[in-house]
Structure formats: C-alpha cells, structure tokens
Amino acid sequence: MNAISNKPLSNIMLVPFLASLPIILVAILFSAPTASAQDGYQEPQHRLSPVVIERTMVNDTYMKVVYGQPWQRGRTIFGELVPFDQVWRTGANEGTEIFFQSDVTFGGEHVPAGLYTIFTIPGEASWTVILNEELGQWGSRRHNAEHDVVQVDAPVSATDEPVEGFSIRFLEDEGDPDVRMQIAWEQTAVSVPISVR
C-alpha cells in the first residue's frame, strides 16, 4: 500500500523552489551588470570631424597636436561660423591639445614641458593663440583665462589654395632648426614659431 502524504500540495512544490532559490539569485546578480551594459551600449558613430594627430621632433624634443578636423562644406568660416574676436575651441569636438616633451619657446614666450589645450581668438588681421593648462575641455564655453599659460599674437595670412579641412601642421623652413605651428582653414592661415634650446 502506497503512503499518501498529508502535506498540502503547495508545500510539496515549494521545497524544490526554495532549494533552487540561491542558484536563481546568483544568476540574476551576475547577469544584471551584463544586461545593463548591453542596454547602454551604442555602436560607434562616424564622426563628421575626424580626430587628427600631427607630430614632429625638434632637437630631440617630441611635439604632438591632437584635434578634431571640421570641414568647410560650402560654409563661410571666419566671421560667420567662427565669429571674430571670440574664444574658439580651434577645431571640433574635444578641445585641441598640444604636447611638448621639453620646455619650448612658443611665439617668443617660455612654455614648460607638458600637455596644454589650445584656444584661439580669431581676428581679421591677427589671432591670439592661447595655451591653457586645463585639459579635457569640450568646445570653448569652459575656457578659463586664469589657467592660460601664454597668449601670443599671430598675423593672418592668405593661403595659396582654399583649405577645405581645418588643419594644424608643424612646418619646417629650410635651414631653420625650429618649426612653425600653422593653423589653416578656408583661405586663412596663422603661424606660431616654436623653438627648442
């Protein structure tokens, strides 16, 4: 004769569930971070203004500029898209940064070795080029002049050909051991001499 349990059916079903509860809780805990990371994941987006790196060596001193490169795309740049006499991020997206491996003379001013954010104030006849010690900038809204290391003036010159993609380059003149950092876009260029001694 088979023994019939007097326990209610709900209690019989509850025992296996309670036995498996720790396993269920562990599975939930370990899957939660993965699920939230996947929910927040975004496919990398194509940037309209790609990141460009320009670098050079001057007298065993390494220099590098990293900037976002906007394109003209038929727009009038200086005086419209980029207003005159206002601080500009000097590129697109994240703040443009320049690195000097050792101390340099930047536009006639001493600059200690290090990493700086470049801001500019474009004008019709000349620009002010600023090296600022605050890093991780976005745009120019957070520019704080109290953290400027140097501000130098650079005269405006016209480019020989239109420059569609904004550029910052290190240029060497034949026979000159120093370089010029040239900023160019549209048909405008400014240069700042950089020397290492």
pLDDT digits (tens, 9 = 90+) for 85-144: 999 999 998 899 999 999 999 999 999 999 999 999 999 999 999 999 999 877 666 789
Mean residue pLDDT of the chain comes to: 84
Give me the half-sphere count of Cα atoms (radius 13 Å) on the Cβ side of residue 58: 26
Q: Are strands 104-106 and 92-100 parallel, antiparallel or unpaired?
A: unpaired
Residue 151 or 1, more confident: 151
pLDDT at 145: 92
pLDDT at 103: 97
Residue 23 or 148, more confident: 148
pLDDT band at 36 (very low <50, low <70, confident <90, very high): very low
Residue 33 or 60, more confident: 60
Assigned token pair, 99: 């690195």
Query: For residue 13, is pLDDT > 90?
Result: no
- The alpha carbon of 28 is separated from its chain's Cα centroid by a whole number of angstroms, namely 38
